[in-house]
């Protein structure tokens, strides 16, 4: 499983597409306004259990399989926002989605930034 992730990352590093970030303030505004979007949490289940901001849990290691299984196909009607603890794993997930032709935004700073601002 991890070999597959690293193989994808190696391919992505040589062809870096431009990808967008979103701030915690922008995410909070979307939540407060009931804007339509999908929030995907790519952390591990234990991290999600300890603290979450109500995203759908799809751990980073499951992203390639989720893409292959078409799990994101029904999500193209709304903005997809991906987050993790600090923004690094979600950036990797964003790269994988981009390579599959799926647009998304990365939550800059992850739940660390969220907790600092809103907890």
d(CA 8, CA 17): 14
DSSP 4-71: HHHHHHHHHHHS----EEE-HHHHHHHHHTT--EEEEE-S-HHHHHHS--SPEE--GGGHHHHHHTTT
d(CA 76, CA 41): 17
Q: Is 84 noted as a catalytic residue in this protein?
A: yes
Residue 96, exposed/middle/buried by CB under 10 A (0-12, 13-18, 19+)? buried
- Options 53, 60, 63, 84, the catalytic residue: 84
Active-site residues: which are they? 84
């Amino acid at each position: 499983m991890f070999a597959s992730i690293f193989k994808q990352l190696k391919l992505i590093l040589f062809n870096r597409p431009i990808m967008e970030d979103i701030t915690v303030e922008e995410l909070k505004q979307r939540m407060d306004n009931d804007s339509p979007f999908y929030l995907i949490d790519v952390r591990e289940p234990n991290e999600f259990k300890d603290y979450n901001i109500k995203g759908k849990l799809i751990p980073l290691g499951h992203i390639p399989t989720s893409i292959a299984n078409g799990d994101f196909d029904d999500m193209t009607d709304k903005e997809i926002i991906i987050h993790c603890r600090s923004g690094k794993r979600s950036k990797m997930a964003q790269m994988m989605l981009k390579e599959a032709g799926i647009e998304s935004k990365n939550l800059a700073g992850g739940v660390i930034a969220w907790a600092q601002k809103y907890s």
